[in-house]
Structure 1
């Protein structure tokens, strides 16, 4: 994934978070995450020179603000396992549990 693809990916996930968790209100989203509305605008812009990626810390803040409906892994699909190694074990355990349940049925 190159920078332009990563930008579009983050914008899509951010738009999903705003739409699904805050009924489309970027201002309410900004307040819940603890950033200014201007920062949200910089995260959402398609202008490559003005765009700012969402930091790993803010990805976590978004996950908490959305009650887990939008996760930090969704924002950072290529490096989440390096940013949050504690989630790797939880993900593996969850997938193993799901496979075990599927085999039992």
Structure 2
């Protein structure tokens, strides 16, 4: 189960409700959950904020988050 699906299960939100919070339609939320599309960079930040950090950019883009947001990597070493 990916981070978005886990968050939805824990929060009780539907895909549609979550989508409205982060500016996506239900279909796009479904595609992100199923891994049919990568989570767009701007959407990662919105999801991290909407979930109060329960789902992070690192969770959403595990393979390239450090390339996209090098400041997060630097903060780990501070």
Higher helix share: 1
Offset of residue 80 of structure 1: 0.8
Partner secondary structure for residue 35 of structure 1: coil
1:1-105 → structure 2 map (5 Å cutoff)? 12-20=2-10, 22-45=11-34, 51-93=36-78
Number of equivalent positions:
78
Offset of residue 66 of structure 1: 0.1
Say which one has the larger Rg: 1
What is the TM-score with the length of structure 1 in the denominator?
0.65
What is the TM-score with the length of structure 2 in the denominator?
0.83
What's the RMSD between the two structures over aligned residues? 1.7
Gaps of 5+ in 1: 1-10, 94-105
Gaps of 5+ in 2: none
